[in-house]
Amino acid sequence: MGPNEQELDARLGRYAALAASLLASGQIQAQIVHRDIEDVTFSGQTQRHGIDFDEDGQDDFALDYLVQDQTPAYVGLRLFTKPGDNVEFNSALGSLSASGSYFYPFALDAGQPIGSQQAAWRGDVNNGNLTMMWSYLAGGTYGNWMGTNSKYLGVRFKKQGATHYGWMRLDVEEDGSSVTLYEWAYNAAAGEAMFAGQQNVTASQEVQSKDFWLAQHDGRLELNFLQVPAPGSMLRVFNLAGQLLLEEELRGQAHALELRQPAGMYLLQVRREQRVDVLRVGLP
């Protein structure tokens, strides 16, 4: 082993020791409640799906998928903030329409902040019906969610009188013909902000997989699988605080990515159908 390799091994050892001590002390562990639900897909007819973030038996929000074939024909998706729990407060991050009559929730990218520092919170507009997307078949579209892939809806709600922040991850087809809800999460620590896509992913969940291996070359990571991952398989990279830094769909038997992050320890999560593997990676 040459001197460069020795120094790299020593650095990775130091990173691993630091990560272990921080995780053990709880200094970097956010209190994220995450639910990777069975996919909920809306298509073809009007449907409602309630989301009970704190699982107290009352929905905090509802997603309303709306279809009308008669004139004016349209398809739409709304976040309803008043399904029955803390209706005076529940709200989303977004922006008002020019008329002030409608509110359009943002389609956030992974890693964007969700908290009190974001001023664009509303839940009362249009009787609590917040327009994520709306498309008239004769022409005219509204909202920020048309044609989005793996974007995040930032929300806040009350639990026992305290504010909590959360997110939902969804896809919306370009023409609004299909919408899929994949997962949601919230920060159980009252009043604390979080990031879109943030989860509790820790090194204690690390799994040594036997059907793929990881190689690292000059900041480039390469995953090689014995079999091609099924469609929809995802690679996610988190820092040790659980912040989602990057996500990509796994395509092909070999997958490479440039992890342009500062030196330190990171967690790679490989999600394939019913299986999740987590690996630690140290960047020198």
Q: What is the pLDDT of residues 102-142, one digit of tens each?
A: 999 999 988 788 998 887 999 999 999 999 999 998 889 99
Q: Mean pLDDT across the chain, nearest whole number?
A: 82
Whether pLDDT at 274 is above 50: yes
Greater model confidence, 236 or 4: 236
Q: Which domains does the chain have, with CATH numbers?
A: 3-29+200-283 (2.60.40.3080), 32-195 (no CATH)
Q: Average pLDDT, stretch 177-184? A: 95
| pTM as predicted | 0.68
What residues pair up with 249 in beta bridges, in sequence order? 234
Q: What is the pLDDT of residues 34-88, one digit of tens each?
A: 898 999 999 999 999 999 998 988 899 999 999 999 889 999 999 999 886 555 6
